[in-house]
Amino acid sequence: MKIVGIEGLFDDQLNFELKRGAKFVVFQYAFSVVIMSFRRNSDVHFVRSGESTGGKSAKYTLLTALAGWWGIPWGPIYTIQTFITNGRGGKDVTQQVLAAMNASAPAAAPDHK
């Protein structure tokens, strides 16, 4: 799983940001090829508290605006759904990312005294 925006952050810095309201989000994009339409999620993006998601979602929304409409009937449906999701700041996947990070963290060695 690739997470955009956490490069160079240590665990304690990441936890501090999460306590301040930071979150992990994915943006959607849609594209159509004649009669087939697809809706996909971007990589996970780390969004700090108070940070706008507009710049992060712009390329996915633009791709959708150009290539999402063309498949019938799902192209227009996916396009509108994508605009709504990205316009609301993306899909919050913080809990899923934290669960995956905790699951992949090495278990602490037992303390033998």
- Mean local confidence (pLDDT), 28-51: 95
The pTM (predicted TM-score) of the whole model is 0.86
Give the per-residue pLDDT at 101.
86
Would you place residue 1 in the very low, low, confident or very high pLDDT band (cuts 50, 70, 90)?
low
Would you place residue 35 in the very low, low, confident or very high pLDDT band (cuts 50, 70, 90)?
confident
- Mean local confidence (pLDDT), 12-24: 95
Which pair of tokens denotes residue 108? Answer: 């602490």
Give the per-residue pLDDT at 98.
93
Would you place residue 102 in the very low, low, confident or very high pLDDT band (cuts 50, 70, 90)?
confident
Cα 42 from Cα 44, distance rounded (Å): 6
Burial 26-44 (b: 16+ CB within 10 A, else e): bbbbbbbeeeebebeebeb
